[in-house]
Structure 1
């Protein structure tokens, strides 16, 4: 039986930078992913340790928000009461 290929929502292709074009599947202890827009293909052995998180628009926006969080500082004059 062939492994079911699933699209990874929000994933960005490392070769062509197309979003939502990466498919992933596992077969015989190997994890595969490919891009339907270009010829990107990758295979890695499945390890017991946690794999690196794929870059998605969700975690990329979260990192950008953390870098761009600007807080306004208001200086109070104690004599203006």
Structure 2
């Protein structure tokens, strides 16, 4: 019996559902993926090439935006100003 494992975060290329794709290895040592929602199946490529835009992920990371300017801070030793 072949073990089928879900691919976390994977999006079905046919129906677009996330977390519905699982993969398994056949007796011929080929890797397959299938969608449990729409029934889509295909052979997974050994060396896949990225085409088009990436699908939107569940977790959206916000970029840290740095300010365009820098303020200069000058430290003054209060004890040295009393001597003058």
Same fold (TM > 0.5): yes
Q: TM-score under structure 2 normalisation? A: 0.58
Distance, in Å, in 2 between the alignment partners of 1:65 and 1:42 is: 31
Gap runs ≥5 in structure 1: none
Higher CA-based Rg: 2
Q: 1:71 aligns with which of 61, 66, 74?
A: 66
* 2:43 equivalent in structure 1: 43
Residues of 1 paired with 2:49 and 2:31: CA distance? 13
TM-score when normalising by structure 1: 0.60
How far apart are 1:42 and its partner, in Å?
Answer: 0.6
Q: Distance in 1 between matches of 2:64 and 2:11?
A: 24
- The structure that is strand-richer by fraction is 1
User: Aligned-residue CA RMSD in angstroms?
Assistant: 3.4
Q: Which has the higher contact order (CA 8 A, sep 6+)?
A: 1
What is the total number of aligned residue pairs between the two structures? 70
Q: Is the 8 A contact 1:22 1:33 kept in 2?
A: yes
Structure 2 regions of 5+ residues with no counterpart? Answer: 73-84
Report which of the two has the higher share of helix: 1
